[in-house]
């Protein structure tokens, strides 16, 4: 990226230069200066203290929510475009290659990719075509030039994420498309991965784990089997915890060939090694993981390895030491709920589905992009009135989970699909039912890749992946509120909004969230309505003060007998 000249080192210098620029009309000067001032306002600082650095400006502008500063998305896009043009007075801002034709050779290769992959590498292919670089001649250095351009020299949002997607698609193409240039792009993995695949361990360990999981699944009649069989998702979690435990031992120097069964893992000395390793990775997430793994290994030691009572008691003590001290909502989630003490934030949050649907209708086009927007409007609307978990939301099936009766639409789940095994039934308000009907009629057909009754069809056919749907919901809410709200937070918000109006009514919240018992609800949300409870009490105090401050009527003194002469 070209550095700004010393005379143009801040946004205020850029404004001064724009006003004096001989190559711009008065209207262009006015619009570009206004865009620079709008960007400065959005960043919360005066133009004179904001440095002219394209990469840093882009990163800070990515955090701006147009709705949060009173701008529409289209207005913010226009501001970004004008600001990018203004920046060209000071630095070499690379322009997007949109509109640049792709060479026939690159287009032929793109046609061999899935639609999503072809879209990811489109800008890269345009850039290479514009520079005259054909597939037979491309080098890693050519690809890295494009990487540096989009990260350092353009205002495009999320270029790091864009580049990561390009790298993943490119390397997959090298592997799967015979004609693709055999240039591998190194992909930085920021995660510190220590969990090994089962293929690294002796086959007997995986066989022993599978046998234990079969016991947990309820497929075996045994005195050590759980009273209620574990759900498939829990079985998968237990399998992963077993792999984590074995991998932690290897990371701490235990010979991998010695791990032939769970008997070599779920013993006191090995459990201490495992838990110390997991905790040493730092952060509250790893502390919680250590507690969960400790409980899993305790169960294995008791029911499968069958250690003696003395050893089992020591394992129990270790697990209890890792028990989270935090009860109910975490401090992180309590902090996330704080904005919802503002009635304006609550109103803007509840208006998101209608605003998003209105934008789709106003656009008028029926494309994949507008169809996904309609899909997310429906997903958010359902979560607001029936705060189910993201796995249930993503799996919604038009045939299985919806029923119309007497002109009303009901959402239902069998207990087998719910986390706690309890059936769920909710009537959807008319505005949500109408939104679902509109989406299914106008936009859902555009998202179908195969015959499916999934409400939210995915790119690969069938239902959309929960992670994908959750990320899209999170991003859309952030665009309107200025801060992210993941799908699970909808459950916490629902509890807070109701308890704010009716402090202490945990029974109804328990039914709303489909908890197994009111105790679960109270453990999670006791204290969540403290602000509301205090406000209710303060209203009582205020009413009492008004009564006391009201002037008392003066009593008329009765005439005394002396005055009347009686």
The domain that holds 367 is classified in CATH as 1.10.443.10
In angstroms, the CA 535 to CA 512 distance is: 24
Task: Please tell me whether residues 460 and 346 are part of one structural domain.
Answer: yes
Residue 309 reports pLDDT greater than 80:
yes
Confidence of residue 557 (pLDDT cuts 50, 70, 90): low
Q: Does a structural domain hold residue 547? A: no
pLDDT for 269:
94
- Count how many domains the chain has: 4
Task: Please tell me whether residues 317 and 392 are part of one structural domain.
Answer: no
Residues 6+ apart with CB under 8 A from 54: 1, 87, 91, 93, 152, 153, 154, 155
Task: Please tell me whether residues 456 and 411 are part of one structural domain.
Answer: yes
216 exposure class (CB count in 10 Å sphere: 0-12, 13-18, 19+): buried
Residue 353 reports pLDDT greater than 90:
yes
Task: Please tell me whether residues 369 and 433 are part of one structural domain.
Answer: yes
Average pLDDT over residues 371-392: 94
Task: Please tell me whether residues 411 and 300 are part of one structural domain.
Answer: no
Q: Does a structural domain hold residue 540? A: no
Task: Please tell me whether residues 158 and 61 are part of one structural domain.
Answer: no
The number of beta carbons lying within 10 Å of the beta carbon of residue 277 is 20
Average pLDDT over residues 120-143: 92
Instruction: Report pTM.
Output: 0.59
pLDDT in tens, 400-430: 999 998 889 999 998 888 877 788 899 999 9
Rounded mean pLDDT of the chain? 84
pLDDT for 116:
84
Q: Does a structural domain hold residue 203? A: yes
Angle between helices 352-363 and 430-442 (to 10 degrees): 30
- At 550 the three-state DSSP class reads coil
547 exposure class (CB count in 10 Å sphere: 0-12, 13-18, 19+): exposed
Nearest 5°: the CA angle 500, 505, 508 is 105
pLDDT in tens, 154-169: 676 678 888 888 999 9
Q: Over the range 138-173, which residues count as b (16 or more CB within 10 Å of their CB) and which as e? A: beeebbeebbebbbebbbbeebeebbebbbebbbeb
Q: Does a structural domain hold residue 192? A: no
Task: Please tell me whether residues 359 and 433 are part of one structural domain.
Answer: yes
Confidence of residue 529 (pLDDT cuts 50, 70, 90): low
> How many Cα atoms within 13 Å fall on the side-chain side of residue 11?
25
Task: Please tell me whether residues 113 and 170 are part of one structural domain.
Answer: yes
Residue 532 reports pLDDT greater than 80:
no
Q: Does a structural domain hold residue 518? A: no
Q: Does a structural domain hold residue 305? A: yes
Angle between helices 73-87 and 26-43 (to 10 degrees): 110
Average pLDDT over residues 121-130: 91
Strand 402-405 with 408-413, pairing: antiparallel
Angle between helices 26-43 and 54-62 (to 10 degrees): 60
Average pLDDT over residues 536-553: 70
Q: Does a structural domain hold residue 516? A: no
- 297: containing domain: 198-321
Task: Please tell me whether residues 341 and 487 are part of one structural domain.
Answer: yes
From 55, 87, 119, give the residue that closes a domain: 87
pLDDT for 314:
94
Residue 110 reports pLDDT greater than 90:
yes
Q: Does a structural domain hold residue 64? A: yes
Average pLDDT over residues 293-310: 93
Confidence of residue 228 (pLDDT cuts 50, 70, 90): confident
Confidence of residue 190 (pLDDT cuts 50, 70, 90): low
Task: Please tell me whether residues 73 and 150 are part of one structural domain.
Answer: no
Task: Please tell me whether residues 393 and 361 are part of one structural domain.
Answer: yes
In angstroms, the CA 353 to CA 357 distance is: 6
Q: Which residue has the higher pLDDT, 348 or 529?
A: 348
Residue 6 reports pLDDT greater than 50:
no
Helix (H) or strand (E) holding 409: strand 408-413
Residue 238 reports pLDDT greater than 50:
yes
Task: Please tell me whether residues 218 and 365 are part of one structural domain.
Answer: no
């Amino acid at each position: 990226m070209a550095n700004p000249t010393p005379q143009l080192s801040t946004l205020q210098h850029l404004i001064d230069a724009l006003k004096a620029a001989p190559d711009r009309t008065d209207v262009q000067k006015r619009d570009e200066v206004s865009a620079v001032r709008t960007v400065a306002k959005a960043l919360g600082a005066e133009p004179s203290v904001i440095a002219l650095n394209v990469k840093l400006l882009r990163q800070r502008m990515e955090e701006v929510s147009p709705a949060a500063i009173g701008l529409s998305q289209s207005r913010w896009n226009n501001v970004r475009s004008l600001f990018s043009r203004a920046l060209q007075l000071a630095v070499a801002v690379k322009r997007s290659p949109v509109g640049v034709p792709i060479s026939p050779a690159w287009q032929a290769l793109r046609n061999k990719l899935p639609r999503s992959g072809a879209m990811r590498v489109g800008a890269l292919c345009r850039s290479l075509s514009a520079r005259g670089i054909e597939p037979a001649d491309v080098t890693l250095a050519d690809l890295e030039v494009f990487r540096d351009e989009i990260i350092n020299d353009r205002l495009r949002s999320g270029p790091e994420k864009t580049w990561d997607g390009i790298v993943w698609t490119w390397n997959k193409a090298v592997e799967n498309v015979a004609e693709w240039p055999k240039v591998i792009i190194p992909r930085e993995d920021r995660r510190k991965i220590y969990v090994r695949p089962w293929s690294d361990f002796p086959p007997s360990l995986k066989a022993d784990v599978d046998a234990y999981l079969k016991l947990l699944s309820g497929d075996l009649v045994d005195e050590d089997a759980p009273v209620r069989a574990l759900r498939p998702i829990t079985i998968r979690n237990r399998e992963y915890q077993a792999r984590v435990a074995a991998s932690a031992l290897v990371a701490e120097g235990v010979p991998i060939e010695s791990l032939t069964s769970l008997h070599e893992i779920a013993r006191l000395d090995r459990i201490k090694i495992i838990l110390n390793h997991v905790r040493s990775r730092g952060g509250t997430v790893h502390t919680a993981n250590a507690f969960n793994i400790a409980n899993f290994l305790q169960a294995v030691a008791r029911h499968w390895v069958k250690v003696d009572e003395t050893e089992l008691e020591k394992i129990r003590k270790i697990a209890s030491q890792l028990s989270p001290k935090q009860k109910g909502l975490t401090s992180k989630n309590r902090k996330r709920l704080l904005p919802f003490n503002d009635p304006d934030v609550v109103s803007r949050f509840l208006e998101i589905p209608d605003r998003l649907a209105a934008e789709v209708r106003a656009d008028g086009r029926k494309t994949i992009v507008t169809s996904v927007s309609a899909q997310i409007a429906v997903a958010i609307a359902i979560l607001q009135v029936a705060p189910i978990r993201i796995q249930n939301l993503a799996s919604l099936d038009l045939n299985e989970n919806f029923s119309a009766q007497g002109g009303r639409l009901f959402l239902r789940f069998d207990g087998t699909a719910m986390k706690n095994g309890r059936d769920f039934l909710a009537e959807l308000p008319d505005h949500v039912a109408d939104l679902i009907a509109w989406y299914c009629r106008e936009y859902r057909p555009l998202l179908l890749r195969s015959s499916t009754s999934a409400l939210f069809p995915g790119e690969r056919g069938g239902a959309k992946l929960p992670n994908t749907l959750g990320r899209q919901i999170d991003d859309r809410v952030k665009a309107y509120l200025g801060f992210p709200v993941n799908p699970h937070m909808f459950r916490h918000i629902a509890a807070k909004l109701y308890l704010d109006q009716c402090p202490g009514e945990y029974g109804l919240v328990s039914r709303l969230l489909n908890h197994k018992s009111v105790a679960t609800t109270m453990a999670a949300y006791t204290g969540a309505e403290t602000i509301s409870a205090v406000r209710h009490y303060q209203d009582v105090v205020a009413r009492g003060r008004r009564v006391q401050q009201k002037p008392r009527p003066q009593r008329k003194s009765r005439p005394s007998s002396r005055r009347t002469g009686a």
